[in-house]
A and B are shown apart, each in its own frame.
Chain A
Amino acid sequence: SQTIHQWPATLVQPVGSPLSLECTVEGTSNPNLYWYRQAAGRGLQLLFYSVGIGQISSEVPQNLSASRPQDRQFILSSKKLLLSDSGFYLCAWKRVGRNQPQHFGDGTRLSIL
């Protein structure tokens, strides 16, 4: 069976510090991978998605970047965090093709001080 791991679960970082959130998927090959951000009590904002190694689509101009160094690894990064980067970050995967559901990790709650 497939599993998705996302860590850390919570993170407190000072403004201006770097960020690296990691997401890995097991039990499947060549998944589509996604990073979302969710503000408190709000919906999900698509940040990045990837259909293959090294292929990243950015949806929102911002202070963040994403990389996919391996087939089942998706990393969200920032060189200098802003207060507005606070939020709940969710990683998800789905099988390639139409009519496939997404499967989510448990999320990382990021607080910027």
Chain B
Amino acid sequence: SQQGEEDPQALSIQEGENATMNCSYKTSINNLQWYRQNSGRGLVHLILIRSNEREKHSGRLRVTLDTSKKSSSLLITASRAADTASYFCATDGESSASKIIFGSGTRLSIRP
């Protein structure tokens, strides 16, 4: 069963705007991770936020985590055409650090 669910399913914005994607999950976690996938390729790890962290930054990426609401958000600032991809959240379960479950993803399109 799906652990994470991203929202929205698809997002189209103008280059230079900020893009925000959300993820909700169901069970207790050790951490939440965000990945990016270009069409037809494998996933690339972007950022990992631990369950005791509330916010994390990496370049133009900002991730927040609210464990009370079981939700996370990924913000990409000053978007570029090259940011066009699908973005997935994934959770590393508290009961099993080995089992990683992915959400259904957000397809982000950046219009030039």
Name A's B-contacting residues (CB within 8 A): 6, 32, 34, 36, 41-44, 46, 49, 51, 57, 59, 88, 90, 92, 94, 96-107, 109
Q: B residues near A, CB below 8 A?
A: 2, 30-31, 33, 35, 40-45, 48, 50, 88, 90, 92, 97-105, 107
The 5 lowest CB-CB distance pairs between A and B, nearest first, are A104-B42, A43-B104, A101-B45, A44-B102, A98-B97
Q: Which of B41, B97, B102, B104 contacts A107 (CB 8 A)?
A: B41
Q: A46-B99, A49-B99, A51-B98 are in contact. Are A101 and B104 (CB under 8 A)?
A: no
Shortest Cβ gap from B20 to chain A (Å): 19
**Is the pair B101, A49 in contact by a Cβ cutoff of 8 Å?**
no
The minimal Cβ–Cβ distance linking B102 to chain A, given in whole angstroms, is 4
Question: How far, in whole Å, are A43 and B88 apart by their CA atoms in the complex?
Answer: 8
